Amino acid sequence: MDQQPSFEDELVELLPRLRRFAHSLSRSPADADDLTQATVERAIRSRDQWTQGTRLDSWMYRIMRNLWIDAARSRSRREKFEAPPEEADRIGTDGTAQAAAELAQVMAAMQRLPDEQREVVSLILIEGFGYREAAELLELPIGTVSSRLVRGRTALFELVGER
Amino acid sequence: MSADEKFFAWLDGELEGAEAAEMAARVEADPALSMLADQHRAMQSRLRSAFDATSAAPLSERLRKTVSAASSNLIDLGERRERRLRPKQFGGLPQWAMIAATLVLGIFAGTMVPGRGGSPVEIQDGQMYAASGLGRALDTQLASSPSGDAIRIGLTFRDSGGAICRSFSGPAATGLACRGDGRWAVRGLFPATEGQGSDYRMAAGMDPNLAALVGSTMAGEPMDAAQEQAARKNGWR
């Protein structure tokens, strides 16, 4: 019974983490759902590119991060001419209103960080990746990851850490 | 590494040995640094618990379809609780996947003769349309009645715009076509993979590419045999 779990089994197991990562990157729960959807579709289409026995989580996080970067680039071009987005419009939790309000608040704070700091804060402080794992995932030198993390978490502390 | 970076690396458990011990001693001796460490630990735990709340929410309908279409042993996160209360007649598969399995298995009884008479697709203004044998199969064949033709029809359903779509498979490819302006626009065409057409996998698991496409295209449930028949009678409108 030492069969390796299938791609699908692992993918299903990863969904809660992927959704959490999507929320920490996105400006609204609706955007986070779209990002998760796009990531899962891309992963299923590209499953041949994943090598069995290697970490599926890193592979899928990388897909999500790249899709988010692509979307962020086209959005920033568009948003120069648009009104700012609504406050978190559809809260992706079934918890209490308080949990939803808390999520909206931290999502808004994360949105104030530059993209390159947000992804590092998200991977290391929220998703629990080590510096080296995050550096490999983002294809950055570890020193860059470390300095972005300091800037990101310090800025975030100014925004949410007053309590 | 700057002093700040070193402090936070220590906080994140990234320093080892003598370096870690040295930083721990410094923090212990410095009330300001101790406070900073506590504040940042508190912020991290606040972030984690706020974002952890997202994993408790049910998956979107769309995402459940995509995943379940790709997965033969589905774990339906959003419905796990209700499912326990329901009889397990579908063995964890969504109903439409079961319909597909039944239909395709039924069709395997037919023989597979490669179609004759021209390419199964034609391209017009950059859009691919079903032609010749494929067009006829989409027009006339019912998934519920095996015909022994080279093309087999899988699922019939409506997309979010209300157009009727049908998945199909032939000896060389599987795909999805949707009805518009009196013809079938091919939304996706994927080369058949080895073993397809002869085992249960194709019905239960589908080609993963096709499954993803079907999952993201379908609005609502696939048609049953009676609905499929009625749709054909109505000219697939």
Rounded to two decimals, the ipTM of the complex is 0.86
Look at residue A33 and tell me whether its pLDDT is greater than 60. Answer: yes
Looking at residue B198, its pLDDT comes to 36
- Asked if B138 and B130 touch (Cβ cutoff 8 Å), the reply is yes
Q: What is the per-residue pLDDT across B42-74, written as a single tens digit (0 to 9) for each?
A: 999 999 999 988 877 777 788 888 877 765 433
Please report residues of A whose CB lies closer than 8 A to that of B92. none
Looking at residue A90, its pLDDT comes to 45
Give the phi and the psi of residue A62 in degrees, each rounded to 5.
-65, -40
Q: What is the per-residue pLDDT across A64-99, written as a single tens digit (0 to 9) for each?
A: 999 999 887 777 666 555 444 444 444 444 456 788
The CATH number of the domain holding residue A19 is 1.10.1740.10
Same domain? For A73 and A6 the reply is yes
Please report residues of B whose CB lies closer than 8 A to that of A11. 67, 70-71
What are the residue boundaries of the structural domains of chain B, listed by start? 3-55, 61-233
Considering the entire predicted model, what is its pTM? Answer: 0.56
Q: Is the CB of B3 inside 8 Å of chain A's CB atoms?
A: no
Q: What is the per-residue pLDDT across A53-67, written as a single tens digit (0 to 9) for each?
A: 788 999 999 999 999
126-165 of B, contacting A, C-beta below 8 A: none
Looking at residue A47, its pLDDT comes to 83
Percent of chain B surpassing pLDDT 70: 68
Instruction: Report the residue of A146, A149, A156 to disrupt the B interface, i.e. the one with the largest count of B CBs within 10 Å.
Output: A146
Residue A66 lies in a domain: yes
Same domain? For A136 and A90 the reply is no
| Residue B21 tokens, joined | 């011990």
Residue A37 lies in a domain: yes
Residue A6 lies in a domain: yes
Instruction: Count up the domains in chain A and report the number.
Output: 2
Looking at residue B122, its pLDDT comes to 74
State the Cα–Cα distance between residues B54 and B73, nearest whole angstrom: 24
Same domain? For A75 and A148 the reply is no
Among B232, B230, B221, smallest CA distance to B99 is for B221
Same domain? For A16 and A80 the reply is yes
Looking at residue B119, its pLDDT comes to 67
Same domain? For A40 and A5 the reply is yes
* Least Cα separation, residue B226 to chain A (angstroms): 31
Looking at residue B83, its pLDDT comes to 37
Among A101, A114, A102, A104, smallest CA distance to A155 is for A114
Same domain? For A87 and A125 the reply is no
Same domain? For A7 and A50 the reply is yes
b/e per residue, A65-94, with b = 16+ CB within 10 A? bebbeebbeeeeeeeeeeeeeeebeebbbe
**CB within 8 Å: B51 and A20:** yes
- Structural domain that includes position A9: 1-95
Residue pairs between chains A and B whose CB atoms are closer than 8 Å: 130
Same domain? For A90 and A128 the reply is no
Full pLDDT tens readout for chain B, 237 residues? 889 999 999 999 999 999 999 999 999 999 999 999 999 999 999 999 999 888 777 777 888 888 777 654 333 333 333 333 333 333 333 444 444 433 433 332 222 233 344 567 777 776 778 887 888 889 988 886 666 667 788 889 999 889 999 988 877 678 899 998 889 988 887 766 654 443 333 343 467 778 778 888 888 888 888 888 899 999 999
Under 8 Å CB-to-CB from B166, ≥6 apart: which residues?
A: B138, B153, B154, B155, B156, B176, B177, B178, B184
Looking at residue B71, its pLDDT comes to 58
> How much is the average pLDDT of A6-23?
88
> How much is the average pLDDT of A5-22?
87
The CATH number of the domain holding residue A123 is 1.10.10.10
Amino acid identity, residue A79? Answer: E
Query: Strands, E, within chain B: which ranges?
Result: 121-124, 127-130, 152-158, 164-169, 173-180, 183-191
**CB within 8 Å: B52 and A8:** no
CA dihedral A70, A73, A76, A77 (to 10 degrees): -120
3-class DSSP assignment, residue B174: strand
Which of A24, A40, A124 has its CB closest to that of B51? A24
4-63 of A, contacting B, C-beta below 8 A: 6, 8-9, 11-12, 15-17, 19-20, 23-24, 29, 32-33, 36-37, 40-41, 44-45, 47
Looking at residue B79, its pLDDT comes to 36
168-197 of B, contacting A, C-beta below 8 A: none
Under 8 Å CB-to-CB from B162, ≥6 apart: which residues?
A: none
Q: Which residue of chain A has the CA closest to B50?
A: A103
**CB within 8 Å: B59 and A143:** no
Same domain? For A129 and A54 the reply is no
Same domain? For A79 and A122 the reply is no
b/e per residue, B139-155, with b = 16+ CB within 10 A? eebebbebeebbbbbbb
Same domain? For A126 and A84 the reply is no
Same domain? For A15 and A67 the reply is yes
Among A55, A10, A44, A22, smallest CA distance to A127 is for A22
